[in-house]
């Protein structure tokens, strides 16, 4: 009877409010462990851990496996999500012999370094948990750079050492509880996250999505002569747009905005890269043919050989070769999508 009343309380508590999503994204290989059979998949264990802890939270539970960078970006920028947990492999920046440095990376199942995607997180988000190895310093760097300035309440948690995915997920969920509700501890049973009506109401009434910014608008067209993978359009390592995987003959379009980090605008401000974000590749990849259009007649030139062959292996670079725009060329835009409330 107590259990029924408790479930009814949760249902009534959330009925009048939007039910946010709590999301588990996994993108990793199953490790070989001697006491598990070859049929064992780590995702099943992670999914079970996640579901047990959130099943009575009043939140919508979303679980996705073998996630790619396109899906990751979609979920990090989804106004319906209050918390996202990402499970993959990661490594911290290292200094090798001779002073050569090895960059930090967060690598998904497909060998793509997705770290730059964690610079763009929707202001509705209260918690992002990265369950991987040594991503803590990277996330702190992103925070110091001001990437989370639009969401002062956002908690991004990661680790500074190697951690088992299952142990790491359990701990990350425990830490998330105070940001989205509370943790209900149970004797000899799995602790559960319980959502609060006040948290849901705050989520529903969050007006951060109405933030307006100004930037230099550029319209980008991608035409495909052959099949091509997912690519990210980047400026100063910040992702402006992600083009989906496409087939020969496809034409894709996007509208992006350059936001200079300093008052002084130079041609370097408008340098672009089109990047698969692959950590490494033995073969040169075709990323598409790109054209750019702007109100001030900007001109971008592919960094290529004399015959027009791009010099990059996994990414293409575009240098800005025209006159610089002035501040009057800036346009106002909305960087975030707002939550659509059900009637």
The answer to whether residues 185 and 63 belong to one domain is: yes
Task: List pLDDT tens digits, range 15-34.
Answer: 445 789 999 999 988 666 65
The position carrying tokens 């087939």 is 247
Per-residue model confidence (pLDDT) at position 215:
95
Residue 70 has pLDDT above 80, yes or no: yes
Structural domain harbouring 306: 213-329
Domain termination site, one of 168, 194, 209: 209
Q: Is 85 exposed, middle or buried (0-12, 13-18, 19+ CB in 10 A)?
A: buried
For residues 202 and 241, membership in a common domain is answered with no
On whether both 158 and 223 belong to a single domain, the answer is no
Residues 78 and 111 in one domain: yes
Q: Is residue 274 part of a domain?
A: yes
pLDDT of amino acid 188? 61
The mean pLDDT value of the chain amounts to 87
Task: Answer yes or no: do 191 and 303 share one domain.
Answer: no
Among 209, 239, 260, give the residue marking a domain's end: 209
Quickly state the pLDDT bin for 169 (edges 50, 70, 90).
Answer: very high
DSSP 26-95: E--PPP--TTS-TT--HHHHHHHHHHHHHTTSSSEEEEESS--HHHHHHHHT-TTEEEEEEE-EEE--EE
The pLDDT assigned to 16 comes to 42
Query: Do 9 and 105 share a domain, yes or no?
Result: yes
**For residue 120, is it within any domain?**
yes
Q: Model-level pTM?
A: 0.88
- The pair of structure tokens assigned to 177 is 């509880």
Residues 106-164: tens digit of each pLDDT: 999 999 999 999 999 999 999 999 997 778 899 999 999 999 999 988 999 999 888 88
Whole-number pLDDT of residue 241: 97
Phi, psi (degrees; rounded to nearest 5) at 329:
-85, -5
Q: Which of 77, 37, 45 is nearest to 63 (CA)?
A: 45
pLDDT at 37: 61
């Amino acid at each position: 009877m107590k259990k029924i009343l408790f479930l009814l309380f949760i249902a009534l508590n959330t009925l009048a409010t939007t039910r946010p999503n709590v999301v588990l994204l996994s993108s990793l290989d199953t490790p070989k462990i001697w006491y598990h059979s070859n049929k064992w998949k780590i995702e099943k264990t992670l999914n079970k851990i996640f579901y047990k802890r959130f099943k009575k939270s009043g939140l919508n539970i979303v679980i996705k496996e073998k996630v790619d960078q396109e899906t990751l970006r979609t979920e990090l920028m989804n106004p319906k999500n209050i918390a996202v947990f990402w499970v993959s492999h990661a490594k911290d920046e290292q200094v090798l012999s001779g002073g050569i440095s090895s960059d930090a990376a967060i690598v998904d199942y497909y060998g793509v370094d997705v770290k730059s995607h964690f610079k763009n997180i929707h202001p509705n988000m209260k918690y992002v948990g990265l369950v991987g190895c040594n991503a803590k310093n990277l996330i702190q760097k992103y925070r110091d750079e001001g990437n989370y300035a639009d969401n002062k309440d956002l908690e991004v948690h990661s680790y500074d050492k190697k951690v088992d995915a299952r142990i790491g997920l359990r701990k990350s969920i425990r830490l998330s509880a105070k940001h989205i509700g509370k943790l209900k501890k149970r004797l000899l049973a799995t602790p559960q996250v319980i959502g609060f009506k006040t948290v849901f109401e705050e989520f529903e009434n969050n007006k951060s999505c109405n933030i307006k910014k100004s930037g230099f608008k550029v319209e980008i067209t991608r035409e495909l002569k052959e099949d091509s993978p997912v690519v990210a359009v980047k400026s100063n390592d910040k992702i402006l747009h992600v083009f989906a995987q496409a087939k020969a003959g496809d034409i894709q379009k996007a509208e992006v905005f350059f936001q200079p980090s300093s008052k002084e605008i130079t041609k370097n401000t408008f340098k672009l890269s089109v990047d698969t974000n692959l950590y490494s590749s033995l073969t040169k990849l075709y990323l598409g043919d790109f054209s750019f259009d702007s109100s001030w007649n900007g001109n971008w030139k592919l960094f290529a050989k004399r015959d027009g062959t791009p010099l990059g292996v996994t990414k293409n670079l575009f240098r800005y070769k025209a006159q610089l725009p002035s501040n009057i060329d800036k346009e106002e835009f909305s960087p975030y999508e707002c939550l659509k409330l059900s009637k």
